Amino acid sequence: MNREYKKSRVARRLTICLAGLLACLLFSGCDYSWRDLWSRDNPKPNDELVVEKGDGEGEGDVIFQGAVEYTGQPHSGTDIYYVGKGERKNYIIVIDPGHQLRANTDLEPIGPGSDITKMKVAGGAQSAAGLTEYDLNLSVSLMLRDILIQRGYSVVMIRETNEVDISNAERAQIANKYNAAAFIRVHANANTDTSIRGVQVLCQSPDNPFPCNKTYAESRLLSELMLDEYCNATDLRRLSIIEDDTMAGINFSNVPTAIVEMGFLSNEAESRSMETAFFRRNAAEGMANGIDAFISEIAEESETHTSDTDTQFSTIDKMAE
């Protein structure tokens, strides 16, 4: 994170604060909340101004895909593809809002060909005040979607409602299907020790026994950048990157993957923050900044090493260390 960038962020926040104040002064009764300012500045993709539902031929069209074929059973959800309009439209970012309304306790292998199995989708965490992880994850993911579309990326949403049934392995298969430039899995944490707070980002280890081993360097770099930018934007405590080889949503992925654990729902102060639209907007912006930083790195790499994949990987690996 360079200082110029931090300065410009501070300047931008100040400008937004002043604009908010001005809006309150201009409109009698001060009817505009942060959420209103946010949604007016960032129209939802279903607004005609940004994208239209279409046949997929036009830029910005939303394409509703059918169920994804998978080695197990097809899921009952749909993946939703927003075709980008900007310079970065060729980079498809797949966003996975973690969990869903109901857990699916059927089992699936934790990786391709593995004998070890795990529940298809766990129920997710919940705060003492009743904030559910699946709701929070979706809310932040929808904001992230809007920011990425505004920045010109193509975006695939694994879900836009809570009423789906999509296993973790299937979610990774969707990212593979689109050959995602980055697969971002949005989660929140919980611990029996309620004093624990802060942010963790998960990816595979260099010793991962599944094919996702090949994308370790990129996933690690993506995770580092996501952690840095997310913590800068939210001011939450930076815990660490965790390398974990037990997650089907990582092990089935062939693309750069990061699980962002946005904070601890089990911690009172952190869960209260996560209830607010203000926090969620910063969280989404932080993740978008992390994605921007990652795409800039890989774009630079592919410019300097267009024909030498091995060199690309070793260079990225060094940068990640």
Residues 280 and 204: their CA atoms lie apart, in Å, by: 26
Q: Which of residues 122-141 bind Zn ion (CB under 5 A)?
A: 124
Judged by CB, which is closer to Zn ion: 177, or 187?
187
- Pair 100, 165: CB distance under 8 Å: yes
The residue among 98 and 263 lying less far from Zn ion, judged by its C-beta, is: 98
Cα distance between residue 66 and residue 288, in whole Å: 27
Minimum CB separation from Zn ion for residue 124, in Å?
5
Q: Least CB distance from residue 105 to Zn ion, whole Å?
A: 15
Nearer to Zn ion, 98 or 109 (CB): 98
Spatial contact of 149 and 45, defined as CB atoms under 8 Å apart: yes
Provide the minimum distance between the beta carbon of 122 and Zn ion in the complex, in angstroms, as a whole number. Answer: 7
**Residue whose C-beta lies closest to Zn ion:** 187
Contacting range for Zn ion; rule: CB under 5 A; set: 26-34, 117-125, 209-217, 247-255: 117-125
- Alpha-carbon span 205 to 321, nearest angstrom: 13
- 80/138 with CB nearer Zn ion: 138
Among 98, 249, 256, 286, binds Zn ion (CB under 5 A): 98
In the complex, least distance from residue 103 CB atom to Zn ion, rounded to whole angstroms: 11
Closest Cα to residue 129, out of 286, 288, 270, 283? 270
d(CA 56, CA 58): 6
**Whole-angstrom Cα distance, residue 172 to residue 120?**
12
Q: How far is the CB of 249 from Zn ion (least distance, A)?
A: 10
Among 159, 187, 220, 280, binds Zn ion (CB under 5 A): 187
- 259: CB partners within 8 A, 6+ apart: 98, 185, 187, 201, 202, 203, 247, 249, 250
Closest CB to Zn ion among 111 and 249? 249
In the complex, what is the shortest distance from the CB of residue 4 to Zn ion, in angstroms, rounded to a whole number? 35
Stretch that binds Zn ion, among 36-44, 53-61, 182-190, 238-246 (CB under 5 A): 182-190
Asked if 210 and 216 touch (Cβ cutoff 8 Å), the reply is no
Summarize as ranges the residues that interact with Zn ion (CB under 5 A). Answer: 98, 124, 187
